[in-house]
Structure 1
Amino acid sequence: MENINRKKRKVSALWSVEYHKNTPIHKAGLLLAPGNWERFDPFLLMAEDHMKQGAFDYHPHRGIETVSYMIDGELKHMDNKGGRGVLWKGDVQWMTAGKGILHHEEAPENGFAHLLQLWVNLPAESKMVEPRYQDILESKMVKQEAEGVTVKVISGSSGELTAETRNYVPVTMVEISLKPGSQFSQDLPPDYNGFIFVLEGSGEFGSDLTAGKEKQVLWLSEEPDEESEINIHALNEPLKVLVIAGKRLRESVAAKGPFVMNTEEEIKQAYKDFREGKFGAWSEE
């Protein structure tokens, strides 16, 4: 294997997630707040949801992909293009809304769903692709265990491990679990913009050894022209993180509600198409 001299990334910003109880059956916190289009490119927003049955009704999307990562519980998914599935702890759903889809995500009766949902922007050339749905089950993920570190590749690659997930935007999404005292370096291609979210424990991150702990987001320094890597080091307790990074689109963003396009005219057209039934009909069957 070719030995690549990678630039060591730092942590450029850190923030803690604040949680709010929206309703008696839904509590949420924003990891990535919407509106920061250029800073977070190609990502639009990311939320952590704790919900019970009835938190959401079916709703539309256009121009994006939604990525749902199950922290715990059970999530049932259905859409009006034939997508159906049930996700459990560690599973991921990668849904491409494309030109338009109606979908519903629901916790089971008397149960709960605890998940992260990331919105990935689609490039202009792919905004109106046909919708598609990918279940990425934990039991079938590409993974590796060595020297106190377990790596699960949800999308993209980690070293020699590569996921089968299909992407319109190149995205690396890797779950990394470390035993106390262990460390790992995640490689990232040039011009990948991204972050680390600490799911459990605490540790030190990057070449500047930034301290991070559970429920914190660590935004990575940019390396537009070089292969790079970010180091993750567990100290005195187990550490579990998600590393998420994607290739910048560098395109204009127009967003309103569940639709994300490149111009305001395209947003108006999305609402018009939805009102006229061009996203298709909803059926509970």
Structure 2
Amino acid sequence: MNAPKPILVRKVARIDDPRFVSGQVAGHRARRLIDAPDAAFGDPFVLMAEDWAPQGLFGFHPHRGIETVTFVIEGAIEHRDSAGYEGVIQAGDAQWMTAGRGIQHEENPPAGTIAHTLQLWVNLPAAEKMAVPRYQDLVASALPVRSGDGVEIRVFSGAYGDMISPTLNHLPVTMLEVRVENSGAFRHSFAATDNAFVYVLEGAVEIGPAGDLLEASQLGWLTRSEEPGSSELTITARGTAGRFLLFAGQPLREPIAFGGPFVMNTQAEIQQAFTDYRAGRF
């Protein structure tokens, strides 16, 4: 009889807290929390930017080969795309956009305001890179949520226990927004092979049995296993309360090629993306 595989207890493997830089547009500050040179480490998450964005910063621009997840921390974002879709996401809401085979869009705060946002790029599998584009506006008040014992969990994507988000994914990705009071503990079981990270929105949290500290604005990558099995994650608040986002997904382990707003598997596909974009096929 085979012995049961041990459960991986998740800890903090690495903390990223890059410096902010000023943009070329007045009022813009930004930093790259996940960046292209680290794509193999972050797989399937290839980029995440944090921005304080004024109107006009992100005018009409294209994407191919990825899904973008935009979470509004403060302010609001008005968006529209080349397929005629438009909408507004407010603080605490998110937008899940499948660029797939190609789309153009713009994202701007209302005139005279600054929007504080996170945007994550999720890589699409090679077989899905030319998927039909789509938008999903994820309004926080309409998503599954559970509160009790000092913890509130909102499921933006994937599942938490028996709570399942209606969000559609080409690549299964878990996105949870969690609030923990000092009397509560967040616990989550998920695949040991999932690549996962925590970004702290407010306060400070302690992760795992050693209480690894993660403070506001820091991103903590979690330990993971190359062997199939289960893992357990425990997070508590350091101080009165903490609020954080948890993302988790299976690595694709496929070649990655970058070309500005395009993420494909080969440089030839990147060149084809630019050719298609210039020819108006997005």
Q: TM-score, normalised by structure 2?
A: 0.95
Aligned to 1:17: 18
Cα deviation, residue 57, structure 1: 1.4
Matches of 1:113 and 1:79, distance apart in 2? 19
Cα deviation, residue 6, structure 1: 4.3
Aligned to 1:253: 256
The match for 1:76 among 47, 56, 78 is 78
Aligned residue for 1:31, secondary structure, equals strand
1:116-265 map, 5 Å = 116-224=118-226, 225-265=228-268
Aligned to 1:283: none
> Are the structure 2 counterparts of residues 240 and 34 from structure 1 closer, same or farther at C-alpha, using a change threshold of 3 Å?
same
Aligned residue for 1:181, secondary structure, equals coil
Aligned residue for 1:35, secondary structure, equals helix
Aligned to 2:34: 32
Matches of 1:164 and 1:15, distance apart in 2? 31
Matches of 1:7 and 1:102, distance apart in 2? 41
Letter in 2 for 1:94: W
Cα deviation, residue 5, structure 1: 7.9
Cα deviation digits, residues 221-270 of structure 1 (max 9, x gap): 01231111211011322100101111111100011100010011000100
Q: How many corresponding residue pairs?
A: 276
Task: Please list every run of 5 or more consecutive structure 2 residues that lacks an aligned counterpart in the other structure.
Answer: none
Letter in 1 for 2:57: A
> Are 2:6 and 2:229, in contact at CA under 8 Å, matched by a contact in 1?
no
Provide the aligned C-alpha RMSD in A.
Answer: 1.4
Cα deviation, residue 185, structure 1: 1.1
Correspondence 1:98 to 2:93: no
Cα deviation digits, residues 165-190 of structure 1 (max 9, x gap): 11111101100001123211122224
Cα deviation digits, residues 50-97 of structure 1 (max 9, x gap): 111111210000000000001010100100112211000110100000
Aligned residue for 2:205, secondary structure, equals strand
Cα deviation, residue 15, structure 1: 2.3
Aligned residue for 2:239, secondary structure, equals coil
Q: TM-score, normalised by structure 1?
A: 0.94
Aligned residue for 1:87, secondary structure, equals strand
* Structure 1 stretch displaced more, 116-125 or 153-162: 153-162
- The percentage of aligned residue pairs carrying the same residue is 42
Cα deviation digits, residues 23-76 of structure 1 (max 9, x gap): 313111121122212100001110111111111210000000000001010100
Matches of 1:11 and 1:73, distance apart in 2? 31
Aligned to 1:277: 280
Task: Please list every run of 5 or more consecutive structure 1 residues that lacks an aligned counterpart in the other structure.
Answer: 280-285
Cα deviation, residue 110, structure 1: 1.4
Cα deviation, residue 157, structure 1: 1.0
Matches of 1:37 and 1:53, distance apart in 2? 29
Matches of 1:262 and 1:208, distance apart in 2? 39
The match for 1:110 among 88, 112, 129 is 112
Matches of 2:94 and 2:239, distance apart in 1? 29
> Are 2:69 and 2:119, in contact at CA under 8 Å, matched by a contact in 1?
yes
Correspondence 1:8 to 2:6: no
Cα deviation digits, residues 193-212 of structure 1 (max 9, x gap): 01001111012112332111
Aligned residue for 2:110, secondary structure, equals coil
Letter in 2 for 1:11: V
Aligned to 1:59: 61
Letter in 2 for 1:8: V
Matches of 2:18 and 2:209, distance apart in 1? 23
